[in-house]
Chain A
Amino acid sequence: NAGVTQTPKFQVLKTGQSMTLQCAQDMNHEYMSWYRQDPGMGLRLIHYSVGAGITDQGEVPNGYNVSRSTTEDFPLRLLSAAPSQTSVYFCASSYSPTPAWNSPLHFGNGTRLTVT
């Protein structure tokens, strides 16, 4: 089991460029999510999905798009990168999409993104 796999590990973009951060999990988890982590800000939810074909916004969705065409994959798209999007991005998945949160989040190793 690879768990949650994120690619790339590092990325440098110029302002205005677009890119897609990849996330894949092999645990058959229904729930997947994207967080960004900035110094002193903790982990902030960008978008999440409770199953294939279903996505919703988190706390900081502006400037990001997601789609969930399969259970395994949940890519995060930056449409026009800005310096404010410089951050570490974590993808996380969970078995249970219910509000009871009976199962924990499994995090990927993260993508460190710098926008110049």
Chain B
Amino acid sequence: GQQVMQIPQYQHVQEGEDFTTYCNSSTTLSNIQWYKQRPGGHPVFLIQLVKSGEVKKQKRLTFQFGEAKKNSSLHITATQTTDVGTYFCAGPNSGGSNYKLTFGKGTLLTVNP
């Protein structure tokens, strides 16, 4: 079945450092979504990318969708303690039922103040 892989699994940074998490799919994706889950909380939608090569920015967060639509990245510039949490990417199932959204295992970001 479709696999969505994320690296790294964990990332610890000093406040002010940059952070990047990468997402790779075993199949071409029609679109990709990113979610953030604060410790003890629930996943919250951040953004959706649809077009090949698309780049979107939300303040210090930059999201990219690869040209082949099989990979994506989330980059945070100058991390803050409020960025702590687990970041997930998710993509629609490409085979069989497309009503399934497959999540990567997530990258846990911790920030040392």
Residues on A close to B: CB < 8 A?
31, 33, 35, 40-45, 48, 50, 56, 58-59, 90, 92, 97, 99-102, 104-110
How many Cβ-Cβ contacts under 8 Å join chain A to chain B? 64
- Residue from A35, A42, A90, A105 in contact with B105 in the complex, judged by beta carbons closer than 8 Å: A42
CB contacts (< 8 Å) of B43 on chain A: these are: 43, 90, 92, 105, 107
Q: Which of B13-21, B60-68, B93-101 contacts A (4 or more CB under 8 A)?
A: B93-101
Interface string of B74-111 (1 = CB under 8 A from A): 00000000000000101010000111111111100000
User: What is the bound-complex CA distance between A72 and B29, given in angstroms?
Assistant: 30
Q: Does B33 contact A (CB under 8 A)?
A: yes
CB distance from B83 to the nearest CB of A (A): 19
Residues on B close to A: CB < 8 A?
1, 9, 30-31, 33, 35, 41-45, 48, 88, 90, 92, 97-106
User: What is the bound-complex CA distance between A22 and B45, given in angstroms?
Assistant: 22
B9 touches A40 (CB 8 A): yes
User: What is the bound-complex CA distance between A110 and B38, given in angstroms?
Assistant: 13
What are 8 A-B pairs with beta-carbon distances under 8 A?
Answer: A41-B105, A43-B103, A56-B99, A59-B100, A90-B42, A92-B43, A99-B98, A109-B41
Task: Check A56/B97 contact, CB under 8 A, given A43-B103, A106-B45.
Answer: yes
CB distance from B102 to the nearest CB of A (A): 7
A99 touches B99 (CB 8 A): yes
A42 touches B99 (CB 8 A): no
Task: Check A107/B42 contact, CB under 8 A, given A43-B103, A45-B100, A97-B99.
Answer: yes
